[in-house]
Amino acid sequence: MKKSIRLIENKGRFIKPCPGTPRHVCCGYQIIDFAHGCTLGCTYCALNVYSYSDELTVFSNRGKLFSEIDRFLEKRKGIVRFGTGEYTDSLLFEEEYPLYSELIPRISSTTNAVVEIKTKTVCVEPLIRIRERENIIVSWSLNSAYIAENEERFAPGIEKRIEAAARIQDAGYKLAFHFDPIIPHRHWEREYRRSVDLLFKKIHPENIVYMSMGTLRFSPDISGFLDHVREEVRRGEFIRGIDNKIRYFRPIRTNVYRVLKTALEEHIDEKHLYLCMESPTVWEDVFGMKNMTSKRLKKRLDDACIAKFPRLSRDEICL
């Protein structure tokens, strides 16, 4: 999908907290807002509704971005997990408008910061050319092959994403993977298990920092959201959740997570798994953890990072 790219100055903040959702558990990461828009054409993506322009936006004042990161880390107590894939794909612009050749060395030299580069692309050459690797996670959004083929129209297929992740693994980076949004469909159990099996044929569990699971959810205020997706997705059993978002009925979500969690635990320890934007009740249903909070989840992921990155200091953990 071709779109024009507009370079503009960001007059606002570059660093923003993950918006989370009321009464649900949030991982507490910080968004690096460096660009807006995407060309991957995922039918379920909120950017389809929020972005009315045919243009993609890249913020040009990178000096302000890096200064803001430096000031943020000077003032912040505890481990900071940054992420770059909230309003675009993290690697969509990297060949033409490089970000990570400067961001990665900056983060790699710290003792209290991690950056996660989340993508669905296979554009990993720019990262492989960078020598620094410390405190850096490169992650992929995964799904069943059926959903990838039908709802992620211009994104590389699941096998190609896994092959790109294997190249990044061989280059010495640590990895993360996100099954999100999980969308139940015909034979979904078999299809998601197949994606898990494909993943661990190429990826070594010791190179994975964490993995998340999340099901399809969206705001009822987003008019026409379901117009983009296939009929099979629209027929899902949706309810209005306690956070006012439209979600699958709780027993459906619980069952989906349990099935996928069982498949993942054949390869990786439970402590590396988490749920994205779920309620404490569902956490208890799936993990048996009572009274899960955002603070507890942040510590869970901070600990996972510290275990993989020796440069991070345990003294920086804010309990």
User: Model confidence at 1, in pLDDT bands (50, 70, 90)?
Assistant: low
**190, pLDDT greater than 90:** yes
| Average pLDDT of the residues in 72-84 | 94
Give whole-number Cα distances, 83 to 22, 46, 103, 233, in Å.
Answer: 21, 18, 12, 28
- CA 112 to CA 314: how far, in whole Å? 9
Within 13 A of 310's CA, how many CA atoms are on the CB side? Answer: 0
User: Model confidence at 266, in pLDDT bands (50, 70, 90)?
Assistant: very high
Residues 211, 273 contacting (CB under 8 angstroms): yes
What is residue 318's predicted lDDT score, i.e. its pLDDT? Answer: 45
**284, pLDDT greater than 70:** yes
What is residue 199's predicted lDDT score, i.e. its pLDDT? Answer: 98
CATH number of domain containing 44: 3.80.30.30
Q: Over the stretch 121-144, which tens digit does the pLDDT of each residue have?
A: 999 999 999 999 999 999 999 999
Count of structural domains, the chain: 1
| Average pLDDT of the residues in 157-177 | 98
What is residue 44's predicted lDDT score, i.e. its pLDDT? Answer: 86
Cβ partners under 8 Å of residue 10, min gap 6: 33, 59, 61, 64, 65
Q: Over the stretch 212-264, which tens digit does the pLDDT of each residue have?
A: 999 999 877 655 666 666 677 777 788 888 888 889 999 999 999 999 999 99
What is residue 49's predicted lDDT score, i.e. its pLDDT? Answer: 64
Q: Which helix (H) or strand (E) holds 101?
A: helix 100-108
7 in helix, strand or coil?
A: strand
Task: Give one DSSP letter per residue of 153-192, joined into a string.
Answer: TTSPPHHHHHHHHHHHHHTT-EEEEEEEEE---TTHHHHH
**317, pLDDT greater than 70:** no
Q: Which helix (H) or strand (E) holds 113?
A: strand 113-119
What is residue 2's predicted lDDT score, i.e. its pLDDT? Answer: 56
**319, pLDDT greater than 50:** no
User: Model confidence at 293, in pLDDT bands (50, 70, 90)?
Assistant: very high
Q: Over the stretch 17-27, which tens digit does the pLDDT of each residue have?
A: 998 888 999 99
Q: Over the stretch 143-165, which tens digit does the pLDDT of each residue have?
A: 999 999 999 989 999 999 999 99
Give whichever of 3-12, 45-54, 238-247, 253-262 has the largest mean pLDDT: 253-262
- Domain with 138, as residue range(s), is 4-316
Which range among 68-77, 160-169, 196-205, 265-274 shows the weakest confidence by mean pLDDT? 68-77
Instruction: Report the percent of the chain where pLDDT is more than 70.
Output: 92
Average pLDDT, the chain: 92
pTM attached to this predicted model? 0.95
